[in-house]
Amino acid sequence: MLTKESDHTVEPEIDEKIPAPLADAIRAGSVPEKILEHSHDADEALKAFQGHEGEVITIDEATNKRLLRRIDWNLMPVMCIVYGLNYLDKTTLSYASIMGLKTDLNLKDDDYQWLGSMFYFGYLAWEYPTNRLLQWLPIGKYSAVCIIIWGAVLACFAAVENFAGAVAIRFFLGLAEAAVTPGFAFITSQWYTTAEQGMRVNLWFCWNGVAQVVGGVVAYGIAVGTEKHPTSLEGWQILFLAIGLFTSAVGVVFLFIVPDNQLNARWLKKEDRILALERIRINQQGVGNKHFKMYQLKEALTDPITWAFVLYALVVDIPNGGISNFFSQLITSFGYTPNQSLLYGTPGGAVEVITLLFCGYFGDRWRNRILVSSSGLVLSIIGMSLIVGLPLNNNNGRLAGYYLTQASACPFVCFLSLISSNIAGYTKKTTVAALYLIAYCVGNIIGPQTFRPKDEPRYVPAEITIIVCWGVGLCIMLFIYIWCRRENAKKARVRATEGYVKLEDQEFLDLTDRENMEFVYTL
């Protein structure tokens, strides 16, 4: 029992029910009193366990594997496809830039750079509100509606006739897509254990690379086809229309497949829903809480790890914003034709897929996502150094350098999975995710501006900026690694205190990672 009633008031029974050493730890701040104060406002998962009080629910290895397979087959395929489209929808602009879009829209000076940045202004404006909506609304249904809307907005780009119209479409596209990455991170944390999350986040994120391969081939086919067989629509218009309509169709499929949580999963039997919740008890996080908690917001804003994540996203996404919008033009600067650049950009997507799967698998297997994923930044620094340092006539070497830069996504995805694994308390988790992606937006807004028209065709200042940003990113990764190890050691000392007790169903009380002494940070 957590509380006692006296004259219609509720008071924590710290002194009577909790041994003196733990009471001292609570007063000292090691075990916050909020564990007791907020136990009545628990996670949604506790609803499923009503009527099972005192019952021990065990899951054997065979059952766990069966549930995991079922979850994977129902969630991963549609999440992978949607996330691939999420990347393809943003980079369609890069393909279109060498398919006649600049001429047809009469883009001048730095107009194209602003089109690249404008997407992230929309993303930035809606990122925090959409994270709050992901907490308050059914997450599966809300995410599906956002996917359908963003596909429709992208298709509307085919009707754009000038710079002003293109700016508006890019802004609203950012608004619509703002829910996808945080939504997918939350869904992953709902359904998978912390040991499984790293590989799953890398799996759906690596479809960015798949999209780059598929997008390059599709764009090349449309470009060549419209050259040989002219149509009433330009090639870039057909590209936007086709990808946009396909995205909306996939959004409808997502609506029917992805549930809001285990409690309303159509493809799980009633008893399997309970087991699917029980198997994630080890995460110490639950599946969600719809109540906004001010103390969790304050904790998020005062937690050093929050700002380390934010600083990393800001610094490292400056390169991402530049490369993702200018990679086609960068490849043409190596001496290739526009159509060749569409095809020659596709191996970069394969590099991203391979490195993400490698880091996801070995990061989980070796229980060290941070250090394993840092190899992606090292490869990227080597790649950009090749682009800057090799002679201009060494086209193949510089192109190989571009391919290596596509490993840069590994640490970003690692931290996305760590926000899923290492930040607990639903208000705190949504706040940190929002701040992380807001910084991602700011970095991507700055990125295209480093590629100045006066630096064409080599863009050396932008390339040097990219190398410096990645170097700073490695330093931030080292800080996060050291911080998590230190916090785990502090919690271990508290758990070893004589008289330490763990509350019943503590895993589902919507506690933050800092107030739950049972919570262990994943490295």
Quick one: pLDDT band at residue 8, thresholds 50, 70, 90? Answer: very low
For the residues 247-274, what does the mean pLDDT come to? 91
- Supply the pLDDT for residue 16: 42
Q: What's the whole-number mean pLDDT along residues 258-263?
A: 89
Which has the minimum average pLDDT: 77-91, 251-265, 442-456? 442-456
pLDDT band at 47 (very low <50, low <70, confident <90, very high): low
pLDDT at 26: 45
Domain ranges of the chain: 61-495
Residue 312 has pLDDT above 90, yes or no: yes
Q: What is the pLDDT of residue 246?
A: 94
Q: Tally Cβ neighbours within 10 Å of residue 382.
A: 14
- The secondary structure of 83-96, three-state, reads HHHHHHHHHHHHHH
Q: What was the pLDDT predicted at 283?
A: 65
**Local confidence band at 286 (pLDDT 50, 70, 90 cut-offs):** low
Tell me: pLDDT of 208 over 90. no
Residues 45, 46, 49, 55, CA torsion sign: positive
Range 10-38 average pLDDT: 43
State residue 207's pLDDT score: 92
pLDDT at res. 389: 86
Which of the residue ranges 88-97, 232-241, 333-342, 404-413 has the most confident prediction, judged by mean pLDDT?
A: 404-413
CB 275 within 8 A of CB 407: no
Q: Contact, 510 vs 43, CB < 8 A? A: yes
Looking at per-residue pLDDT, the higher value among 16 and 275 belongs to: 275
Q: What is the pLDDT of residue 270?
A: 86
Mean pLDDT of 203-214: 88
* 414-427 tens-digit pLDDT: 998 888 888 888 88
Of 65-79, 97-111, 117-131, 315-329, give the range with the top mean pLDDT: 65-79
Token digits for 22?
A: 């733990």
The residue among 444, 471, 502, 490 whose CA lies nearest residue 384 is 471
How confident is residue 29, by pLDDT bands cut at 50, 70 and 90?
very low
Highest averaged pLDDT of the listed ranges 242-251, 272-281, 321-330, 395-404? 242-251
CA distance 271 to 428: 31
Taking each helix axis from N to C end, the angle separating 460-495 and 369-389, rounded to the nearest 10 degrees, works out to 170
Beta bridge partners of 12: 3
| Residue 45 in this model has a pLDDT that exceeds 80 | no
**Which residue would you say has higher pLDDT here, 152 or 284?**
152
Q: What pLDDT is attached to residue 187?
A: 92
Give the pLDDT confidence score for residue 10 in this predicted structure.
Answer: 38
| Residue closest to 212 by CA, chosen among 373, 359, 356 | 356
Average pLDDT score over residue span 386-400: 86
Residues facing 10 on adjacent strands? 5
Among 66-70, 238-242, 319-323, the minimum mean pLDDT is found in: 319-323
Over residues 140-148, the mean pLDDT reads 95
Report the pLDDT value the prediction gives residue 95, as an integer from 0 to 100: 79
Please give the average per-residue pLDDT across 425-445, as a whole number: 88
CATH number assigned to the domain with residue range 61-495, chosen from the 4 options 3.30.70.100, 3.40.50.300, 1.20.1250.20, 3.20.20.70 = 1.20.1250.20
Whole-prediction pTM: 0.76
Structure confidence at residue 313 (pLDDT): 94
Query: In the predicted model, is pLDDT for residue 497 greater than 80?
Result: yes
Query: How far is it, in rounded angstroms, from Cα 195 to Cα 125?
Result: 33
125-139, 186-200, 277-291: the lowest-pLDDT one: 277-291
CA distance 355 to 361: 10
**Predicted pLDDT at 88:** 85
For residue 200, pLDDT over 80 is answered with yes
Name the strand (E) or helix (H) holding 368.
Answer: none
| From 31-45, 335-349, 365-379, the region with the lowest mean pLDDT | 31-45
Would the pLDDT of 12 be above 70?
Answer: no
Nearest to 205 by CA among 318, 69, 383, 81: 81
Q: Is the pLDDT of residue 5 over 50?
A: no
DSSP-H helix ranges across 160-303: 163-177, 180-191, 194-205, 207-228, 235-257, 270-278, 294-302
Among 244-248, 342-346, 352-356, 506-510, which stretch is predicted with the lowest mean pLDDT?
506-510
pLDDT tens for residues 449-476? 888 877 777 778 888 999 999 999 999 9
pLDDT > 50? residue 2:
no
For the chain, the average pLDDT equals 82
Instruction: State whether the Cα torsion 303-306-310-311 is positive or negative.
Output: positive
Residue 500 contacts residue 346 (beta carbons within 8 Å): no
